[in-house]
Structure 1
């Protein structure tokens, strides 16, 4: 029977970093399928995933697998189980995906005896701001209350999330090989079974109305200073309305910039992989016309997909 692990967590919590550690420490020699769900057209997390022997990566983008793409997820898993016969599936949903919706999508596979759940894992990183938590508390509660294991990113204060009242075990140690192998993996593999989680599943009021997704496709190249200036002006223009930006910009001189932005910080790194330039944006209360005006002014003409 194929083991399935969902790695949930809000935008920027550290899901991709956690999965990289899990692949490195816990899946040597395993036939593993990793399903990445990004909110925009550009598959950023899949490009950043460390390649591991036996790992197949698939992307389901331009939406959320807990709601609008739930049917796509079910179809893909059914086909993958038949054609790829993976020993394990890891699913990384979008940061604004409710865990309860994904569990509902997987329920038929449990009933048919096709999969067994490990976890599910919800990764919690340092909260960006108090306003961030109050504005999207419904999504966070759903991810936490339906988790089998809560994993704190190193440096995260448990008090920020009122963890004491949660029924799931909490892993708050550093993400070292020893801690993963001896403490975390037994928690994940010996945690609640899928049938128990689904029968006790908490379906909260997940308020995602007003969230807008855009993918920008700039055609020109940028220096590090130009890319940094764009992100700085973006912060000034939209503030807390802009929740997340991630993607790739073509780098002056060749290659790409990997850009990451949240309400509390930004990062620009060199990236040598073969990807097309593209930036995914998610925000609340931002109209397409505002995005077009800002990026046309800062970056010149480009294609924008909604």
Structure 2
């Protein structure tokens, strides 16, 4: 009996090893909309129950993982670091373990907003992984309202994510001037990648995602047609060199450019009071420059609310999530001041 079970386990493991899993990588800078994109993509796949999401967040608590898990999706989390730096080994091991033990058809990788896409691609091309996966798509989500600022101030991360993507999908495009500026930046960094600007709910995302050579992408498209057609995608006519990636420099710059602070929220407030309080937090100079703010907060009326801030707008909505914490990401954060401010009065 034991031998039969052992042989069955061996056959099952061999089947997993021989089965090529389709992998999507969905990258994007802080607050671009990766998790929203992933939720729509999963619903378009043949069987959402056969999808596993490998989720990396820069803070100590993974809000995006909690949101996806609440929707009923299978999530594997890596927190408190960047999967292309401090968690690179953990990421590789997690990916191998998933391939060894999980009977899934799709893996969707959501890196942290400060990950470099080139490093993640390198891990996926590792000999122990590449033969077992089919890299189906490697996309970047770009927030058009913030992209010019990110390009100027956080170029090493932002440029890499765009340069190594197979497609670019635009989010937050309320301002036409900033949108056009963003399109020009993307064309400069990656002339081969199609750029999709239609609202995601108007297109079938899974049909537009693929991994094909940059040269094929350019030759298959008419530059004039695609630059002018805002209902389709955009390409450029030039081929500037992809920025050289320096992994050591990324370690140093990630450490210097971004800090994260996770604060447990102990004082319940109404949604209006939280709006006022967190708006004051974002605008103050005493706690540091806040690029990203997200988490769950306790309400004095009962229950919790979900907080999302990506540099343009503060959103607070009721949620069924139960934790009470905020994760703050930005340069030169003052942890003590953040702790005192969030749980104090103003």
1:304 match? none
1:87 paired residue among 97, 102, 105: 105
1:146 match? 164
User: Using the alignment, how far apart are the partners of 1:106 and 1:123 within structure 2?
Assistant: 20
Structure 1 unaligned residues grouped into runs of 5+: 194-199, 300-306
**Offset of residue 51 of structure 1:** 6.1
Q: State yes or no: 1:215 paired with 2:262.
A: yes
Q: Cα–Cα, structure 1 residues 153 and 110, in superposed 2: closer, same or farther, change >3 Å?
A: farther
Q: State yes or no: 1:44 paired with 2:69.
A: no
2:305 match? 257
Counterparts of 1:98-137 in structure 2, within 5 Å, are 98-109=116-127, 112-128=130-146, 130-137=148-155
1:224 match? 271
User: Using the alignment, how far apart are the partners of 1:279 and 1:290 within structure 2?
Assistant: 14
SS in 2 for 1:34: strand
Q: Cα–Cα, structure 1 residues 158 and 106, in superposed 2: closer, same or farther, change >3 Å?
A: farther
**Offset of residue 3 of structure 1:** 0.9
1:203 match? 245
1:280 paired residue among 324, 327, 330: 327
Q: State yes or no: 1:160 paired with 2:186.
A: no
User: Using the alignment, how far apart are the partners of 2:211 and 2:317 within structure 1?
Assistant: 38
Q: Cα–Cα, structure 1 residues 203 and 39, in superposed 2: closer, same or farther, change >3 Å?
A: same
Contact 1:38/1:93, CA 8 A, preserved across alignment:
yes
User: Using the alignment, how far apart are the partners of 2:147 and 2:209 within structure 1?
Assistant: 29
Structure that is richer in strand per residue: 1
User: Using the alignment, how far apart are the partners of 1:128 and 1:83 within structure 2?
Assistant: 40
**Offset of residue 284 of structure 1:** 0.1
CA RMSD in angstroms, aligned pairs only:
2.6
The Cα offsets for residues 41-94 of structure 1, whole Å up to 9 and x where unpaired, read as 2221122237667x4112111111111111111111111111112211001111
User: Using the alignment, how far apart are the partners of 1:93 and 1:149 within structure 2?
Assistant: 16
User: Using the alignment, how far apart are the partners of 2:71 and 2:344 within structure 1?
Assistant: 41
Which range moved further: 109-118 or 184-193? 184-193
The Cα offsets for residues 227-282 of structure 1, whole Å up to 9 and x where unpaired, read as 11221111221498111010001122322110112322101000023x32111111
1:15 match? 34
The Cα offsets for residues 147-196 of structure 1, whole Å up to 9 and x where unpaired, read as 0111112636253252233222222222135x21xxx4344235349xxx
User: Using the alignment, how far apart are the partners of 1:61 and 1:267 within structure 2?
Assistant: 23
User: Using the alignment, how far apart are the partners of 1:131 and 1:258 within structure 2?
Assistant: 26
1:188 paired residue among 196, 201, 209: 209
Equivalenced residues, count: 287
User: Using the alignment, how far apart are the partners of 1:228 and 1:293 within structure 2?
Assistant: 17
Q: Cα–Cα, structure 1 residues 296 and 248, in superposed 2: closer, same or farther, change >3 Å?
A: closer
**Offset of residue 110 of structure 1:** 6.6
Which range moved further: 214-223 or 90-99? 214-223
Q: State yes or no: 1:97 paired with 2:122.
A: no
Q: Cα–Cα, structure 1 residues 131 and 172, in superposed 2: closer, same or farther, change >3 Å?
A: closer
Which range moved further: 151-160 or 162-171? 151-160
2:194 match? 169
Structure 2 unaligned residues grouped into runs of 5+: 1-19, 215-241
User: Using the alignment, how far apart are the partners of 1:164 and 1:247 within structure 2?
Assistant: 34
1 or 2 for the larger relative contact order (CA 8 Å, sep ≥6)?
1
The Cα offsets for residues 115-152 of structure 1, whole Å up to 9 and x where unpaired, read as 12122010111233754431112211000001011111
User: Using the alignment, how far apart are the partners of 2:130 and 2:344 within structure 1?
Assistant: 54
1:297 match? 344
